[in-house]
């Protein structure tokens, strides 16, 4: 690696750290060892000391909680404080929720007003997150936050499709499908929904087209056939597509 590339990576690591990523997240994002990332931050004089973190986990200062969300955030951290989660996980969740609430104050002021509003805000927030921020960690924090404040009963990505999934489950139960098959099909559908979420696609707009795009990324023909069957069945039974013919056997959208 030449000096110019090294300086570029150091600049990115410093910027990401200042924006709220942990040392480990910075190291993972830019593919360097933890100690190297820590040394870079220390050399640039930005490494935070434990004493720099406030009692409520607030950092950096730019992620101030909007006044409209202060009470909910206080309720959350009070509940989190008596949870059985590891201390490091609690710190991580606080940071991610501060970041989300700061974003919501500017982009989704009604985010905490109702479960549907929260689910939509969480979905949009994760889609808009820079890749280096660690979407799995943010998703876990939002799930925990939503469940503790009774704003969410499950995964924020899956929540908008709960009604559709219930219709599909009822259909499977009425057919006497085995528990193993039922669970396997639901896993496939949820995996598809999470993929669509990450890709910024709303499957409800065109379920068949989204499924075709999703399946085009797999080379295992057996899995593709099995997955297509589950996703098509779910789409039809949940009323998200009108006909199984909408999904072509070769991954093309039938016109």
78 and 37 in a common domain: no
CATH code of residue 17: 1.10.10
The confidence score (pLDDT) of residue 100 equals 92
97 and 74 in a common domain: yes
For 16-67, write each residue's pLDDT tens digit. Answer: 888 777 787 788 778 888 788 888 888 888 776 443 444 444 444 456 788 8
78 and 40 in a common domain: no
65 and 109 in a common domain: yes
* Domain-ending residue, one of 128, 153, 178: 153
Q: Please give the Cα distance from 40 to 23 (Å, whole number).
A: 10
* Better pLDDT: 231 or 63: 231
Residue 253 belongs to some domain of the structure: no
pLDDT at 184 over 80: yes
Q: How many domains does the chain have?
A: 3
Pick from 127-131, 159-163, 237-241: least confident? 127-131
Query: What six digits make up the tokens of 151?
Result: 């704003």
Q: Please give the Cα distance from 234 to 204 (Å, whole number).
A: 12
Establish how many alpha carbons lie within 13 A of residue 111's alpha carbon, considering only the half-sphere containing its beta carbon.
Answer: 25
Q: Rounded to whole angstroms, what are the CA distances from 94 to 32, 55, 58, 170?
A: 26, 11, 8, 38
């Amino acid at each position: 690696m030449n000096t110019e590339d090294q300086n570029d990576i150091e600049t990115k690591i410093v910027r990401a750290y200042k924006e709220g990523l942990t040392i480990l997240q910075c190291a993972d994002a830019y593919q360097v060892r933890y100690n190297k990332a820590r040394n870079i931050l220390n050399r640039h004089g930005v490494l935070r000391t434990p004493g720099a973190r406030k009692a409520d986990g607030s950092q950096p200062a730019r992620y101030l909680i909007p006044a409209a969300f202060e009470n909910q955030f206080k309720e959350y951290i009070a509940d989190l404080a008596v949870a059985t989660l590891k201390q490091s996980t609690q710190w991580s969740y606080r940071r991610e929720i501060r970041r989300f609430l700061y974003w919501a104050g500017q982009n989704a002021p009604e985010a905490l007003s109702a479960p549907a509003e929260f689910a939509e805000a969480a979905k949009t927030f994760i889609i808009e997150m820079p890749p280096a921020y660690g979407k799995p960690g943010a998703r876990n924090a939002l799930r925990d936050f939503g469940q503790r404040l009774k704003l969410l009963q499950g995964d924020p990505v899956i929540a908008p499709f709960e009604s559709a999934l219930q219709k599909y489950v009822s259909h499977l139960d009425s057919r006497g499908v085995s528990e193993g098959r039922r669970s396997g099909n639901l896993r496939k559908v949820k995996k598809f929904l999470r993929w669509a979420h990450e890709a910024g696609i709303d499957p409800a707009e065109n379920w068949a087209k989204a499924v075709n795009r999703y399946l085009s990324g797999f080379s295992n023909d057996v899995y593709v056939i099995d997955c297509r069957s589950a996703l098509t069945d779910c789409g039809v039974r949940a009323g998200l597509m009108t006909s199984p013919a909408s999904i072509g056997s070769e991954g093309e959208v039938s016109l």
